């Protein structure tokens, strides 16, 4: 529920509405306090890429959906922020790709696990893996609570989508041979760098788009899907994303100077 009235023409409307979702999620125990700060870091990078889905991100999403659809056992890892922002899209993507949802929390509290499970079920999920009552196993080389994974979920998965992930866990998942896909607005985070496919976009835009793509791409034969995944180059993808930020910033500098000149801002500085 949005508590503040955001004018429809407000230039930061979507960003503010997204913030309200995170705040609501915090109040209902879905989002950890540290999740509020992680969201702020994401917002800053969204600003740098121009708060839009780039063509490059669209290509990364296509490769990611191809990997999920052609996997033997794909799984989608869910944390509090992802759940508060895009619960319906998580459920939809999970259904189309036959990739179960697994809760995995950096800041574990039973209350949070229950709140996230309930939110996913409210959004239409039939099964939620990763809860404490489920059989679990440990990923080696990870000391936090998050080393625990569901035996029938990430434990058995070949392809894992880990949106808004922490670098340590991404490295640990890679170390045990998983094909890792992430959604992360920061192209320089360890997660972005270590993943096999990095979607550099806001999860609020990316996940609904991926669900849409999955509906169309599920008709593509498996060998063609494998080919889409093989021809995706994540080093180029990340490098392009950083260049997009640089170009965007250069354009912004021009716009700012032009605006200030046109409106005579800064005349008194001389
Ligand atoms: P890493 O551990 O991978 O080096 P980090 O420590 O900088 O990254 P974390 O807090 O561990 O960051 O992970 C959160 C990541 O999620 C950040 O890179 C942040 O940019 C990203 N993020 C936050 N909100 C969103 C969002 N709405 N959409 C996409 N990415 C987001
Ligand atoms: Mg981190």
Please report the pLDDT score of residue 226 as a whole number. Answer: 98
pLDDT tens-digit readout, 136-148: 998 886 666 668 8
Please report the pLDDT score of residue 147 as a whole number. Answer: 81
Closest ligand 1 atom, CA of 191? 3
Give the pTM. 0.94
Cα of 176 to ligand 2 centre, how many Å? 19
Angle of the 110-122 helix axis to the 87-97 helix axis, nearest 10: 70
Report the percent of the chain where pLDDT is more than 90.
Answer: 84
The ranges assigned to domains in the chain are 55-239
SS3 78: strand
Cα of 198 to ligand 1 centre, how many Å? 12
> Is the pLDDT at 178 greater than 80, yes or no?
yes
pLDDT tens-digit readout, 187-226: 999 999 999 999 999 999 999 999 999 999 999 999 999 9
> Is the pLDDT at 8 greater than 80, yes or no?
yes
Fold that domain 55-239 belongs to in CATH: Rossmann fold (3.40.50)
**Residue carrying the six token digits 């990430």:** 154
Buried b (16+ CB within 10 A) or exposed e, 56-82: bbebbbbbbbbbbbbbebbbbbbbbbb
């Amino acid at each position: 529920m949005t508590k503040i009235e955001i004018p429809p023409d407000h230039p930061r409307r979507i960003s503010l509405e997204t913030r309200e979702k995170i705040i609501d999620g915090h109040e209902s125990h879905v989002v950890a306090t540290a999740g509020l700060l992680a969201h702020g870091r994401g917002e800053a990078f969204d600003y740098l890429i121009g708060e839009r889905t780039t063509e490059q991100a669209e290509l990364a999403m296509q490769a990611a959906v191809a990997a999920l659809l052609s996997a033997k056992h794909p799984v989608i890892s869910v944390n509090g922020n992802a759940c508060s922002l895009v619960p319906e899209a998580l459920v939809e993507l999970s259904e189309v790709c036959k990739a179960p949802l697994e809760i995995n929390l950096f800041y574990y509290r039973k209350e949070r696990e229950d709140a996230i499970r309930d939110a996913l079920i409210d959004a239409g999920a039939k099964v939620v893996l990763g809860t404490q009552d489920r059989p679990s196993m440990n990923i080696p080389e990870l000391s936090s609570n998050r080393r625990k994974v569901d035996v029938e979920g990430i434990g058995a998965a070949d392809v894992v989508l880990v949106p808004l992930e922490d670098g340590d866990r991404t490295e640990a998942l890679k170390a045990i041979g998983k094909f890792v896909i992430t959604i992360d607005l920061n192209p320089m985070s360890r997660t972005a760098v270590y993943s096999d496919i990095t979607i550099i976009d806001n999860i609020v835009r990316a996940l609904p788009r991926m669900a849409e793509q999955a509906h169309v791409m599920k008709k593509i034969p498996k060998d063609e899907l494998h080919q889409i995944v093989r021809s995706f180059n994540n080093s180029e993808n990340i490098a392009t994303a950083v260049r997009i930020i640089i170009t965007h910033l250069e354009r912004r500098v021009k716009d700012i100077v032009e605006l200030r000149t046109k409106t005579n801002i800064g005349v008194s500085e001389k």
